Amino acid sequence: MPSKRTDPSKAPSSVAGAGRAPLLVQFLKFGTVGVSNTLITFIVYGLLLKVFGVWYLAASAVGFVAGATNGFLLNRRWTFRGHVGDSLTPVRWAIVQTCGLGINEGLLYLFVHDARLDKLLAQVFATGVVTVTTFFANRAWTFRTQRPVAMVDTDL
């Protein structure tokens, strides 16, 4: 009797965890989105800083918001697409990004004033730290794929 071969690409997606990307794949997707965010951030930052003479911390904040908005839209649709969104997803994203902005501004200030780095190079270093930090915060909280487990009182 001939064996019946099945196409693995047509396997049912009901296998446990099939809809969840491994951590490394998600991080690489997040990094890819981050490249586009970084380009947007640096273009806005560079224009405001060098062309319009805006104070570097204000220019960085405006660029960060532009990149973060791009990041929310792309990460929601691609990196964390297995996430079942709710009305608080954008709020959680905004909180994580606001914390990321605070870390970015603090590091940028330290790198420019204390380490005496060039303002653009300082932004590169700050971006690296913020990327890793916000990835894990967004993965664990903003785009979590499971709802938190409610505590049930079994002593009833």
- For residue range 79-94, list pLDDT tens digits in order: 887 776 788 888 998 9
Question: Mean pLDDT of all residues in the chain?
Answer: 82
Residue type, 81: R
Rounded (5°) CA angle 147-98-56: 155
Burial of 68 (0-12, 13-18, 19+ CB in 10 A): buried
pLDDT at 148: 55
pLDDT higher than 90, residue 24: no
The residue among 43, 42, 108, 35 whose CA lies nearest residue 71 is: 35
- φ, ψ of residue 93 in degrees (nearest 5): -60, -45
Radius of gyration of the chain (CA): 20
**Which whole number is the average pLDDT over 34-53?**
92
Q: CA distances (Å), 65 to each of 10, 17, 32, 101, 149, in order?
A: 41, 33, 18, 8, 32
pLDDT at 34: 84
